[in-house]
Every structure is written in structure tokens, then in C-alpha cells.
Chain A
């Protein structure tokens, strides 16, 4: 098993190595590095957009999900979730476009559009994860004399954490993938190089935007995967 894994890793390394040789000899590397200043500036902008909108979505989405899962909200929660579900079906490009009509151009509509697009999976997973906590656990916790707050913090959230994390991971994947579109409404980011590259039929410029975007997406997903693996207690973590 480990031997095959090692072999696979070796093959990947070789592939990356060959790809590197090809990129270097084809002269693409020179074309890409010509945009180095743009890349660093726009990557920073891009990462800021992802981090701010994603962070805001987590900060807002988890509490909303928790609030919807409370027994007092039982009657309305399903209706609210239906609204959220319909929201998910709207393509993210449309969400961005709609937020531009509301907020004009620049950072605010980009931030808002990305925020809305990543909010939905977080709320949905938080809500679903908390509802999926077996009722006998809550009964045991209540019977042992935990307060509602203690039950939430010590039993419900830890046991829903894996599902909540999956929602956050999905949300950030959507977020990173959608952020290049922010350029279209003046939000900046690596989309600037991608879309301008497309318009000018300039492969070097296009790749100067696309490669860091792809690398960022992979990096974010990797970080989230590691966080999911390490931060969630062993007893409720199917990965461990």
C-alpha cells in the first residue's frame, strides 16, 4: 500500500518536473514572469478578497446555522432553508452581477457577492450538522444536568463539527473559484490578468493569472483538508 503510494508520489514529482522543463523551454515562463509585479499585487488583492469574504461568511454563517437549528426556530427553519437552497441554485456569476446592480462597482459589491455565494453552504451544513446530532446525546446531556449553552458548546457543536467543516471547505472552494469574476465588477484580483489575457489573446498574461489562481485554490483546499483532519476530535472524525 505505502509502496504504491510512494510510487504515485514519485510519478507526480516526475510529471511536475517534466512540465517545468516544458514550460521553461517553450519560453512561457519568461512570458509569465514578465508580469511578476502584477502577479504579486493582484494575488495580494485576490487573497484579501477571499479571506475577507470567506471569513465574513464563516462568522455570519455558523451563528445563523446554529440559530436556525434551535428548537424555538423549528417552525420557521425549514422555510428559511428552502430560501437558502433556492439561493444556491443561482449561478455565482449571476450573484456577482446582481450585487453590482445593488452596490455599484469596486470592492464592496465583489465582497458582498462572494460573501453571499459562500454563505449558503456554511449555513446549510451548520444547520444540517446540528440537526443530525442524535437526540439521545442531547437527552443524555440534559439528563446529566448540562445547561442549554453547555449542551450546544460541549455536545452539539463538537459532534456536528465535521459536517460544519465540510460546509466551510465547500464554501471556500466556491469562493476561491469565483473570485476571478470579481474583476468583472471592478473588484480586482487575479481575474484581471485572466480576462485581459483572454481579450488580448495573450497566453502568457492569461497563464500569469490562471496559474496562481489554480495554485491558490489547491493551497486553500489543502489547508482546509489539514485543518479538518487535525482540528476535529478523533472520536467524531471519520478521517482519523
Chain B
């Protein structure tokens, strides 16, 4: 857990003093990622760097796991906090192994234990230790360097990590991949992480909570969904963007919205049986599945009405299916691409997992606007 209390930083300049952080109060619960978000010069990096005292605070307190860090000496404090920076900062004179072992060695770990740890961590991010331990940073690609940068910070297993725009210098495709890897890793490691970003999409994707900064103050500190659904003021609303409702699509997966109570039928089923099934379910269409429960098509009640034969004769192919793990943004994108009001979802094995419709999506977006936090506040904000 990280707790900031009235954390303030004033820089003395010849003109007037500059307040880079103005009585910042916040708490990051153990195992969560908190994103410090804001335009450049808003004080988010200053706030971060005060935690490991790269910038000494003017006043205020910082608690890590309940302990007041002003009691600790700088060096001890920093060795117990993982630190990742945008420029990665791998030491070019050291091999990947030596780079990862820096903090363990500073903490006087046994060399064999430190090396083992380096190999394990490389494995964790999908880099083959035999191949990479002996390499120098200049022999790695940008994405590989940043992976090593992250695991170097994890090497001594610190409870708390500070990340200063860690994925800012990576191309968009690799950034997505590394973010996903990192989230998977975090799900296991459960570090308490402060993460500076200026990218709202990254913040929404990575953060359990987001703190939006302006001129050294926190404008809003809340979950991504709440920030997108209920921006506290015009600044926040403006910063998260006019398309903030669309951004919320990324926070929900198809699984949470898809309805599984959809009639299914097989190709060989008799039309009369299928019609009966639809009538009972009060549905207009049924999804046709094969013997492996994979969705292969659909039939509608109107077309089958009064006909005889098997379902196979009336089945239409499905325009597309979406994985049930996909976020709603991907789902909506597929819907628009195929000009359809509904899509069948599949699970990891390609089996039918439900149907998602456009009204389902809009209903999900409306859900957090709820009756009590309704439209009044919404209009007041924008």
C-alpha cells in the first residue's frame, strides 16, 4: 500500500516559486495499479519521483505499507522500490544478466541465487535465458529492452513499483503486446504500482485506479469506469476526450454482456421442432451449431414458418463471430464492419458461448450511469 499525505513540492526559481505538487493526497491499495495521468508539466512525474526521493518533497508524508518513509535512508528506501523509466536505462556496459542482478547484488544476495532469479524472470517475459542472459542491451530490440527493464525492477521482488511512462517509447503494436504481458504478470505478482502516463487509453487499460493531475493537484481519483462515466469537472471530461463513452467499451468484455439463453439447434433438426423451440423461447432466431458446439449459422422463425424439411435448408451463414474474452470495442467494431445488429460469441475452444446484440452493448454502457448518479450530474460536468 502506498499512501501520500499532503505531499507538496515547491521549486524555487528566480521569479516566483513553482508548485509542482500541491497537497497531494491519495492511497493505492496493495496489489493495485494506480495511473497518474495528466498533460505534461502537471506534476505527475514529480509526485512519482518524490516517492523514491529522486525529488525530495518540500512537505508532506509518504507511507509504504504503513511505514513513514521519511524514517528510512534514501538508499535503503530505493533498493526496496522497483523503478522503471521511459528511457529504460539499461546499463550498456553490463550484460542482461548483470543488469537484472544489480539490485539483488546491492542487497548482498548470493550470486547464484541472483543469477537464478535473472533466468527465471527472463523466462517469465518469454525471453529464452540461454539466449539472452549473456547479451548486451545494444543487442536487443526496443521491446526486448523494455521487457528487461521491467524485470530488472522486479528482480529483488520489491512490494512497490514506480513506473515512469514505461511503455512510452515503444511502437504501438509492441506496446499493446507488452501491456498485455505486464497485466498478466501483475495478475500473478500483485505488486502495488504507481504508473505515470499521458495516454488515456493506456490508463484505462492498465489502471485499477486513475488519478488525473492538473497543475500539481489531483482533479479526480477514481476507477477508470467512474472517470469515463462521471468526470468530476470540465477539465477531466475534456482530458479523457469527447469519445469517453466509447472508451468505456474497452472496460467491459463480451462475456459480461452476452446472453447465453439463446435457442440453439443442429443442422439436421426438423424445422417443425426448431419452430417449436423458438416459440417456447419467444425468440425470432436460433443459432445453428455443429457437433462440436461451434456456431455455424442461424435460422429465423419467419423463413421457417409453415415450411418442412431440416434446419440445414434455411440456415444462413454467420457473418462473423467474436471471442467471448474480447472487449466491447472489438465487438462493436465487428458489428459495424459486418453491418449486423448481433454477433455470436465463441469461447477459447471456438464453442458457442452466447449472443451479443447492439442493445446489450448500449445497455451495458448505460448501467454505470445508474438511476441515482443519473443524467443531471452528467450534464453538469460537460
Q: Which of A132-184 contact B (CB under 8 A)?
A: 134, 136-137, 139-147, 150, 154-155, 158-159, 161
Q: Annotate A172-207 by CB proximity to B: 1 below 8 A, 0 otherwise.
A: 000000000000000000000000000000000000
Which residues on A sit within 8 Å (CB–CB) of B94? 158, 233, 235
Report yes or no: A144 in contact with B87, Cβ–Cβ below 8 A: no
Report yes or no: A144 in contact with B93, Cβ–Cβ below 8 A: no
Please, which residue of chain B has its CB at the minimum distance from the CB of A147?
Answer: B75
Residue B301 lies at the interface, judged by CB distance under 8 Å to chain A: no
B134 shortest CB reach to chain A, Å:
10
Report yes or no: B76 in contact with A145, Cβ–Cβ below 8 A: yes
Within 8 Å by CB of B78, from A136, A144, A234, lies: A144
Report yes or no: B87 in contact with A235, Cβ–Cβ below 8 A: no
Which residues on A sit within 8 Å (CB–CB) of B10? none
Report yes or no: B93 in contact with A159, Cβ–Cβ below 8 A: yes
Q: Which of B123-176 contact A (CB under 8 A)?
A: 136-138, 153, 162
Complex Cα distance, B138 from A139, in Å, reads 19
Known contacts A145-B76, A235-B95, A235-B138; is-contact A140 B106 (Cβ 8 Å): no
Residue A236 lies at the interface, judged by CB distance under 8 Å to chain B: yes
Number of interface residues of B (CB under 8 A): 29
Residue among A143, A161, A236 with max Cβ neighbours from chain B (10 Å): A143
Report yes or no: A137 in contact with B91, Cβ–Cβ below 8 A: yes
Report yes or no: B93 in contact with A236, Cβ–Cβ below 8 A: yes
Which residues on B sit within 8 Å (CB–CB) of A143? 52, 54, 78, 81, 83, 85, 162
Which residues on B sit within 8 Å (CB–CB) of A155? 91, 93
Which residues on A sit within 8 Å (CB–CB) of B79? 144-145
Q: Annotate A100-137 by CB proximity to B: 1 below 8 A, 0 otherwise.
A: 00000000000000000000000000000000001011
Report yes or no: A235 in contact with B93, Cβ–Cβ below 8 A: yes
Complex Cα distance, B103 from A95, in Å, reads 49
Which residues on A sit within 8 Å (CB–CB) of B162? 143
Complex Cα distance, B88 from A141, in Å, reads 11
Complex Cα distance, B93 from A137, in Å, reads 11
Which residues on A sit within 8 Å (CB–CB) of B76? 145
Within 8 Å by CB of A159, from B78, B92, B136, lies: B92
Q: Which of B61-99 contact A (CB under 8 A)?
A: 74-81, 83, 85, 87-95
Complex Cα distance, B75 from A233, in Å, reads 27
Which residues on A sit within 8 Å (CB–CB) of B106? 144-146, 150
Report yes or no: A145 in contact with B75, Cβ–Cβ below 8 A: yes
Complex Cα distance, B87 from A145, in Å, reads 18
A129 shortest CB reach to chain B, Å:
13
B46 shortest CB reach to chain A, Å:
14
Report yes or no: B91 in contact with A141, Cβ–Cβ below 8 A: yes
Report yes or no: A144 in contact with B85, Cβ–Cβ below 8 A: no
Complex Cα distance, B93 from A161, in Å, reads 10
Complex Cα distance, B94 from A134, in Å, reads 15
Please, which residue of chain A has its CB at the minimum distance from the CB of B139?
Answer: A235
Report yes or no: A145 in contact with B91, Cβ–Cβ below 8 A: no
Report yes or no: A139 in contact with B103, Cβ–Cβ below 8 A: no
Report yes or no: A235 in contact with B137, Cβ–Cβ below 8 A: yes
Report yes or no: A144 in contact with B102, Cβ–Cβ below 8 A: yes
Please, which residue of chain A has its CB at the minimum distance from the CB of B106?
Answer: A145
Residue among A147, A155, A235 with max Cβ neighbours from chain B (10 Å): A235
Complex Cα distance, B111 from A59, in Å, reads 33
Report yes or no: A235 in contact with B85, Cβ–Cβ below 8 A: no
Report yes or no: A158 in contact with B83, Cβ–Cβ below 8 A: no
Report yes or no: A145 in contact with B103, Cβ–Cβ below 8 A: yes
Complex Cα distance, B93 from A140, in Å, reads 14
Please, which residue of chain B has its CB at the minimum distance from the CB of A135?
Answer: B87
Report yes or no: A159 in contact with B91, Cβ–Cβ below 8 A: yes
Complex Cα distance, B162 from A147, in Å, reads 19
Report yes or no: A144 in contact with B83, Cβ–Cβ below 8 A: yes
Report yes or no: B92 in contact with A142, Cβ–Cβ below 8 A: no
Report yes or no: B85 in contact with A139, Cβ–Cβ below 8 A: yes
Complex Cα distance, B300 from A202, in Å, reads 114
Complex Cα distance, B93 from A51, in Å, reads 29
Which residues on B sit within 8 Å (CB–CB) of A139? 54, 85, 89
Please, which residue of chain B has its CB at the minimum distance from the CB of A240?
Answer: B136
Known contacts A140-B89, A147-B75; is-contact A235 B103 (Cβ 8 Å): no
Interface residues of A (CB under 8 A from B): 134, 136-137, 139-147, 150, 154-155, 158-159, 161, 233-236
> Would you list the 4 A-B pairs with minimal beta carbon distance, nearest first?
A140-B89, A145-B79, A235-B136, A145-B78
Interface residues of B (CB under 8 A from A): 52, 54, 74-81, 83, 85, 87-95, 102-103, 106, 136-138, 153, 162
Besides A136-B87, A143-B162, A235-B137, 15 other A-B contacts (C-beta < 8 A) = A137-B92, A140-B83, A140-B89, A140-B90, A142-B78, A143-B83, A144-B78, A144-B103, A144-B106, A145-B74, A145-B77, A161-B93, A233-B93, A234-B136, A235-B93
